[in-house]
Amino acid sequence: MTGTWVRGVAVMTDVAAVGAELRTARGLSQREVGRSAGLSHSEVSRMDLGSELYSDALVRHLAAYAAALGYTLRFVLVADPPSSDEKSAARGLAREGL
List all residues 6 or more positions away from 3 whose beta carbon is below 8 Å from its beta carbon: 10, 11, 12, 13, 14
Q: What is the DSSP string of 44-74?
A: HHHHHHT-S---HHHHHHHHHHHHHTT----
Annotated domain spans of the chain: 4-95
pLDDT tens string 6-18: 444 444 546 667 7
With respect to CATH, is domain 4-95 assigned 3.90.45.10?
no
User: How many Cβ atoms from other residues are within 10 Å of residue 52's Cβ?
Assistant: 14
Region for 11 from its dihedrals, namely left if φ exceeds 0, alpha if ψ lies in -120 to 50, beta otherwise: beta
Q: Can you give the pTM of this predicted structure?
A: 0.50
Across 11-36, average pLDDT: 81
